[in-house]
Structure formats: structure tokens, C-alpha cells
Structure 1
Amino acid sequence: MNLEDRIVVDPSIRSGKPCIRGTRITVYDVLEYLAGGMSEAELLHDFPDLSSEDIRAVLAFAAARERRLAISPAM
């Protein structure tokens, strides 16, 4: 999966927070809903602009970011 196809950072949208392409839904928003117990089916129902692939891209984006933070040298 190419994350750039699904996750974009545009300073003019949501103050440059990573968003799902074509929406104003941030990666953080989706992660918060999932962490709060919302299922993928509920997310897709409540946000019809989202797809299962978008949700997987959010999870992959978060995992990649976590990996980068884990290997970054301590300051």
C-alpha cells in the first residue's frame, strides 16, 4: 500500500495534520474513534466517504510513524 495515495499533508487543510485524501478527516480522528471502541463498520457507516482501505492506511501510517519514533536517537 502506498500511503501517499491515501494520506496527505496539506497546510491549507486542518492546519497541515495528516488527513485522508479528499476528506478533512485526520489520521488522529480515525485513531481516536478506533481507540474509543468504534468498529470499522461503525466508522464506515458514520463516515461514508471512508473506505476500509483508508482505515488500513491510517493504521499503517500510525505504525510507520511509531517505528520512526522508536528508532530516532534520544535527544
Structure 2
Amino acid sequence: MKANWRERIAIEPAIHHGEPCIKGTRVPVSVIVASIADGDTPRQIIDAWPQLTGDDIKAALKFAAEAVNNADFVPLPRTNGR
């Protein structure tokens, strides 16, 4: 996907309480990413939400990757010698 994910992801308070969604749809990025994590293929996702494209799915994954990359994580304390 050559286009920037910002062209495909919208964060609007009136849609899904501001949860990131694919522009022009009510499909949350989190649903797409979770579907991929559960083993669904892009074709299965598009079959379930025909308003999506392959580029929408790629944009959702790029958005999620950037969100994780920019998140601050606090390591958990080690327990039992681990």
C-alpha cells in the first residue's frame, strides 16, 4: 500500500465513541486487527465487511503497528526469578 494510513483511518467522536475506524465505514481498526490475529485472511474480512478493501486492511495494520511503536510500556516486575 503506497498511500498513507492517515488517508484511510478516521477518529471521530460521533463514530464508535472516537475509536479509530476505516473512513466512510463504522468498521473499527481493532476489529480488523483482531480478525487477522484470530487467523482470518483479508479475503474473509472483506467477505464479512464488503465495504472494505485490501488497502483498508493494510492501513489498519499499519495504524496498529505505529500505535504500538509509539506507546509507552511499563515493564512488569519480575516474580519467582523470571
TM-score (norm 2): 0.81
Gaps of 5+ in 2: 75-82
Gaps of 5+ in 1: none
Aligned length: 72
Match of 2:43 in 1: 41
Match of 2:66 in 1: 64
TM-score (norm 1): 0.88
For residues 23 and 60 of structure 1, the distance between their equivalents in structure 2, rounded to whole angstroms, comes to 18
Identity of aligned residues (%): 33
Moved over 6 A (4+): none
Match of 2:16 in 1: 14
More helix per residue: 1 or 2?
Answer: 1
Root-mean-square deviation (CA, aligned residues, Å) is 1.4
Match of 1:28 in 2: 30
